[in-house]
Structure 1
């Protein structure tokens, strides 16, 4: 089979029937809201595509007043993401709570962990310095910082920097998770996560954070490119669909910059690996170097512990 045919086969399999997928997820949301005896949903709305899709599906599954969105920025968050989240909630007529995480993080002295804390956000200076530091680490070690952070830092270069960076950004997701469950329990709501299959498989999430700890995960069977296809069907505003995905935890880095690969390319690699393709077939079909595929495999292996709880075997 030619490389072009292999690639086309892969792209065809990546496509979804968005109407069918939407109805299935809406039924899933209704089923578990009822099964777990909840009176509504709660989700974190970031202004990104994943949480926006979850918000729309929740609104369609139940009703606007049964969906509560917590919008939880901090001082590092981009104002455009906050506005996109607020505008979408208004379009959907769903209630929101705006909670600024900055005072909580200041109380815990989290911002003091960052070596870039004194650099002003305005004008993009902090973002540029952080991006250059990220690239510097990659050049020096041959590994992206994200990959290095998936396991511990024993005997690793720049150990102190990596430890503080992890603590710095992960606490934000975990604090959001705590707030989601606080209001969920106060109002008898179901906590809905927004993780997608692409990021979950490579470990691009925070263990026990708001995209990991939840009651249901409606998008976990969908690759990021499939979430985009679903977003178009659901009429998510184009500004949300088209802007570069970002965890919005540390200024200066989009998700694709942090990973060193586009979602389109990564998703096709992940799907090919899922189908059991040989690495040589993937490199030819996608016209990509073998080491990039090996990098993705390494991310999947190194992040396995994030998706599991380990217990001792019975003797």
Structure 2
């Protein structure tokens, strides 16, 4: 039996468009002799649909679209389609009104429907808000082959692999007990750095443990802050990858199940990513391209400071949308260095984009005059520095509004973490492209871009980072060196280490305490930031749910390292 994997890029809520994608993949699969086509989790509506699921008309329309799709599919092809189904017993059991489901379409009908059993409620996932878990193992028989069906999270609960169980059941083990011939997993698994390697190791463990050939079909594309890398693959009983789809692009691959050997035969295997920088670059380019396309923007604008962050964002934008669709705006102030202009112009020439210079000195003077009486007797400080950023932000927003461009903000994760950014200034924008990219990784990505020829001007890479909001300013006037800052942030944000643990790793306790305070104080800024593309397992986006008004970080140093849960504070 030939089985096709359709690695699709749905647009959330576009039921007719998504159905057409499935139909076109089905026609291609049928032309290649496939008997079964796999599509990703919620392929009909796109993942994650979030509160669209609370709209009864949306759910009803999905059902109508599913029935029509079943009638339109090629004959002699069975198709697994990700959809939702109503929980008709919800009013009796008190459960959720929907299931996250996979429908088996064949011969013009919905033959069977299978429900997701494990519903994640961590990081960016909130499926318990909408769905009731399925209670039984899912499988169907096609041409005398028993095929087990699992949906995304159903794969992620092997107690031998994890050393624990996060849920009471293991759907893979249940299917092995039943004795199915093959297990498929239909996923919408968001990207983070190194996740594909982890998926393959995890799936290999299950394939070998249960002696089950397994096929993993994953969604691809960008939906809001989430990026889906695809990288669908198939594994034989020995845990060997016999097929892999390309990353960060739609694809259709066909594998063959040998009934005699009861195993999958070798097929096309796409190469893995060359490096972490390679995969991050591809993820960011796809994220920008899809965010613009799915929000119906064709052109973008961004501020070019001559710094490394805006240089990287401009390069990403060009790769995503084409140089003719990217506009760079240079807005020098009296504090801007000569090289900030020349470096920005060199970058625009390297990328082939249009650049416009809008000096802001006169605007700064106007603001100074307007605020002269109010600020009389005070010293020049943060308020005056931030006015420059806010003037630039206003100009960029005006250009975006006037011409219908998407404004890209250029702040990195290190800055977002500690609040080294200006509300209503450099934080303005419709998409924060590198807000999950630490400063040290920004440099790494730029060196990766320059591996064959100079794209990012060498002076941009060599000079000390600076916001240039006052004479002679550099970032390290306000922040620790980025190598130190990023390591502290990695330990605090990603590894959930305590201050004592970070200090024990070799960091200055004064710096650690200062960074912790900065992260806490900047929460109100992050709450007002544009959506940012997620590339790590702990991004400042959907999965970051910190309170703004909180005293924990301010009070924590009053607690001894091994204090009781409720110490008495003096």
Task: Please report the TM-score for the alignment, with normalisation by the length of structure 2.
Answer: 0.42
Asked if 2 retains the 8 angstrom alpha-carbon contact of 1:196 and 1:222, the reply is: yes
Aligned to 1:180: 396
Q: 1:297 maps to which residue?
A: 516
- 1:66 is aligned to 325
1:307, CA displacement in angstroms? 2.2
Q: Supply the distance in 1 between the matched residues of 2:280 and 2:501 (Cα, whole angstroms).
A: 30
Structure 1: distance between partners of 2:497 and 2:366: 50
* Residue pair 2:305, 2:341 contacting (<8 A) in 1 also: yes
Give the CA deviation at 1:112. 8.9
- Is this contact kept in 1: 2:397–2:428, CA < 8 A? no
Q: Distance in 1 between matches of 2:334 and 2:277?
A: 36
The 2-side partners of 1:246 and 1:180 are apart by 20
Matched, 1:240 2:455: no
Q: Deviations over 1:105-134 (max 9, x none)?
A: 122226997xxxxxxxxxxxxxxxxxxxxx
For residue 308 of structure 1, report the CA deviation from its aligned partner: 2.9
For the 8 Å contact 1:26–1:61, the answer to whether it is kept is yes
Q: Distance in 1 between matches of 2:365 and 2:291?
A: 37
Q: Is the 8 A contact 1:111 1:168 kept in 2?
A: no
Deviations 1:87-110 (A, max 9, x none): 110111100110000111122226
TM-score between the two structures when normalised by the length of structure 1:
0.74
* Distance across 2 between alignment mates of 1:74 and 1:278: 41
Residue in 2 that maps onto 1:50? 309
- Give the length in aligned residue pairs: 249
**For 2:294, which of 20, 30, 35 is the aligned residue?**
35
Equivalence map 1:262-277=2 (5 Å): 262-274=481-493, 275-277=495-497
The structure where strand makes up a greater share of residues is 2
Q: Deviations over 1:259-305 (max 9, x none)?
A: 2x1000010001001111232332232x2221210110011112222
Are the counterparts in 1 of residues 408 and 429 from structure 2 also a CA contact under 8 Å? yes
Cα root mean square deviation, aligned? 2.3
Asked if structure 2 preserves the Cα contact closer than 8 Å seen for 1:110 and 1:168, the reply is: no
Deviation (angstroms), 1:167: 2.3
Work out the CA distance in 1 between the residues paired with 2:347 and 2:371.
33
Give unmatched runs, 5+ long, in structure 1: 1-11, 114-158
Q: Is the 8 A contact 1:172 1:249 kept in 2?
A: yes
Please point out which of 154, 168, 171 is paired with 2:387: 171
Greater helix percent: which structure?
1
SS in 2 for 1:192: strand
2:417 paired residue number:
201
Indicate if the aligned counterparts of 1:193 and 1:214 stay in contact, CA closer than 8 A: yes
Mapped to 1, the partners of 2:291 and 2:525 lie a distance apart of 24
Give the whole-Å Cα distance in 2 for the aligned partners of 1:280 and 1:167.
34
User: Which structure would you say has the larger Rg?
Assistant: 2
Looking at both structures, which has the greater relative contact order when contacts are Cα pairs under 8 Å and sequence separation is at least 6? 1
Residue matched to 1:141: none
Q: Which residue of 2 aligns with 1:152?
A: none
Alignment of 1:1-315 (within 5 A): 17-109=276-368, 160-161=378-379, 164-210=380-426, 212-235=427-450, 236-259=456-479, 261-274=480-493, 275-285=495-505, 287-308=506-527
CA positional deviation for 1:257: 2.1
**Aligned position for 1:126:** none
Give 3-state SS (helix, strand or coil) of 1:76's partner: coil
The SS at the match of 1:68 is strand
Instruction: Pick closer, same or farther for the CA change 1:111–1:49 going to 2, 3 Å.
Output: farther
1:204–1:110 Cα change, 3 Å: farther
